[in-house]
Copies of this chain bind each other. A is one copy, B any other.
Amino acid sequence: MSSQSATRMDYGAADLNLNVTSDLCKFLASFTAESLPENAVHEGRRGVLDWIGCALAGSQHPTISKLLTVLGAVGSAPQATVLGRGMKLGLLEAPIANGQMGHVLDFDDTHMGGVVLHASSPVLSALFALAEKRPIAGRDLIAAYCAGFEAGVRTGQGAPKHHPGGWHLTGTLGSIAAGAAAGRLLELNAQQLTHALGIAATQAAGMQQNRGTMCKSFHAGKAASNGVLAALLAQNGFDSSSEILEGKRGFCRIYSSEAAPEQILDGLGERWEITRNGHKPYACGVVLHPTIDAMIALAGKVPKSEEVVSIELRVNPLAVTITGVSDPKTGLKSKFSLSHTAAVSFLDGTAGIAQYTDKRALDPEVAALRDKVSAHMDESLRRDQAWAAVVTRSGERYEHLVEHASGTVDNPMSDDAIERKFLANAVPVIGEARARALCEAVWRLDRIDDVRDLLAQCA
């Protein structure tokens, strides 16, 4: 029998005397929008533009129609715009729709700084809903957007085994990012923001088991909604643990087999995580992007008259463990297929939305070429590297090595490329005039007085 006195029974205190959650929230509640460095502001503009385009393109996906059938029937009064669909829903439902449409094509931005996080779908879906309630200046929206990146990415850095543990970070860290961003937009004080983070984190969910299903992008929408609810509750006096990240039964410990909460505050206010965000030229997970670059390069080298007998790939192991589906039957599943991706990007010379439809997944020519792909995991290759070879019937062998995939931090998309991607995504949904007006407005987002003018263009 062990003995323990009543005076030593306190529960749940953080160890190491860390006050990670409250220190993080003190900073996020107090930095001024004017103090943001220009590169963070500019990444804000790029992120908003790219994300709106992805959401508009995604708004037409059949999955979104199923979702909206339900959300339209649950008793959701029109308060917040659903992008690209000419309708409004309640403050908790519109973010589900917008978040899911932002992520459903796997075309939205990716942060790879110790995490694999698609932050914009949860964060901007939360912010856009709240920005319809009262005038919000563009610069304040960008500041809240940056706050979301800080909270989400840094929490992931404090939970180093979170991704290997099987979690879909856009659902989990996305909730935290959305809660922090929404709280910042509502101008919560440090204590309230600490509670908002605690309420958001305690709703954080999303399993990798659901990759390739409609749930994957649903995680992003649910995270956005969780964040809005968390911020509104904290604003109205709801409390939570003040140690939700570092506590003994807090996020870093229970969502990760290793905890490093002290990492969360590292370089806070010096390094802005939004400046390490990446944008996708291709409509699938970033682990596939170096392979696509390689296959597009090879498509330009191999004469059309040559019959391909095999495609060999060398890739970072994650490209196989995450995207190892060999015979996808749906468009959503094909986004998790390295062999589909290699085959279709070689045949089509690109890997956009059209390469990941149900129709393309079932195409006999694509399926036949998929069967000729072999993938070799190579620990020496980084996640943004890939090597590919095409062998033809005549015995010719064509090879290509990609050092840094397009759209990564070391090989970023240019502003022009992001604008072209935006127009390609947005024009079919809202027409060229509105798309160009939106584009022009987002490039000067930090000088707009009321972002509702911009949101109305996305309806």
- Mark A239-258 against chain B: 1 for CB-CB distance below 8 A, else 0: 11101100111110110010
Q: How far is the CB of A114 from chain B (nearest CB, A)?
A: 19
Q: How far is the CB of A367 from chain B (nearest CB, A)?
A: 12
Query: Do A244 and B1 touch across chains, with their CB atoms under 8 A apart?
Result: no
Residue A375 at the B interface, CB < 8 A? Answer: yes
Report copies per complex: 2
Interface size class, chain A: 35 or more
- Minimum CB distance partner of A237 in chain B: B66
Given A66-B237, A376-B2, A209 and B326 contact (CB-CB distance below 8 Å): no
Residues of chain A touching chain B, judged by Cβ–Cβ distance below 8 Å, are 1-12, 63, 66-67, 69-70, 73-80, 89-93, 165-167, 171, 198-199, 201-215, 218-219, 222, 228-229, 232-233, 236-241, 243-244, 247-251, 253-254, 257, 314, 317, 320-327, 336, 338-339, 370-371, 373-380
Bound Cα distance from A151 to B200, whole angstroms: 26
Query: Do A209 and B244 touch across chains, with their CB atoms under 8 A apart?
Result: yes
- Minimum CB distance partner of A133 in chain B: B73
Give 28 A-B contacts (CB < 8 Å), ordered by A residue: A1-B376, A1-B378, A1-B379, A3-B376, A4-B320, A6-B326, A6-B371, A6-B373, A9-B375, A10-B325, A11-B325, A67-B233, A74-B92, A75-B78, A75-B89, A75-B93, A77-B90, A166-B248, A198-B213, A202-B206, A202-B209, A202-B219, A203-B205, A203-B206, A207-B251, A210-B244, A214-B238, A218-B233
Bound Cα distance from A149 to B378, whole angstroms: 46
- Minimum CB distance partner of A380 in chain B: B1
Query: Do B376 and A9 touch across chains, with their CB atoms under 8 A apart?
Result: no
Query: Do A202 and B198 touch across chains, with their CB atoms under 8 A apart?
Result: no
Query: Do A4 and B198 touch across chains, with their CB atoms under 8 A apart?
Result: no
CB-defined contacts of A73 to chain B, threshold 8 Å:
91, 232
CB-defined contacts of A203 to chain B, threshold 8 Å:
205-206, 222
CB-defined contacts of A236 to chain B, threshold 8 Å:
66, 69-70
Q: How far is the CB of A69 from chain B (nearest CB, A)?
A: 5
CB-defined contacts of A2 to chain B, threshold 8 Å:
317, 376-377, 379
Bound Cα distance from A38 to B395, whole angstroms: 75
CB-defined contacts of A69 to chain B, threshold 8 Å:
236
Bound Cα distance from A210 to B202, whole angstroms: 8
- Minimum CB distance partner of A379 in chain B: B1
Q: How far is the CB of A80 from chain B (nearest CB, A)?
A: 7
